[in-house]
Amino acid sequence: MTLLTKEDKLNIVHQHLKSLDYALYNLELDLIEAEAVTTSDSDAISGINSRISALEAKRTALMAEKTSVESE
């Protein structure tokens, strides 16, 4: 059992979501930069896209947790 209130839990989830949103935006900017150069590095672009996919999966999991907490 936790001493955290529903509001506490939601605040923590929101903080994590915001952190992921910052990271996702940073990766989107990295992708823009990587694609902007004449001789773009396909390995770098692939790596950025993989990291974006991983963060999106984490965001989906956090959204599911948010929904779970909201229904408590």
How confident is the prediction along the chain (72 residues), in pLDDT tens digits per residue? 679 999 999 999 999 999 999 999 999 999 999 999 988 899 999 999 999 999 999 999 999 999 999 999
Q: What is the pLDDT at residue 30? A: 97
Q: What is the pLDDT at residue 38? A: 87
In the chain, what are the domain boundaries?
7-70
Q: What is the pLDDT at residue 31? A: 96
Q: What is the pLDDT at residue 2? A: 78
Backbone angles phi and psi of 54, in degrees to 5:
-65, -45
* Best CA proximity match to 53, nearest among 32, 68, 31: 31
Contacts of 37 (CB under 8 A, 6+ apart): none
Q: What is the pLDDT at residue 61? A: 98
| Residue 62: Cβ-neighbour burial (10 angstroms; 0-12, 13-18, 19+) | middle
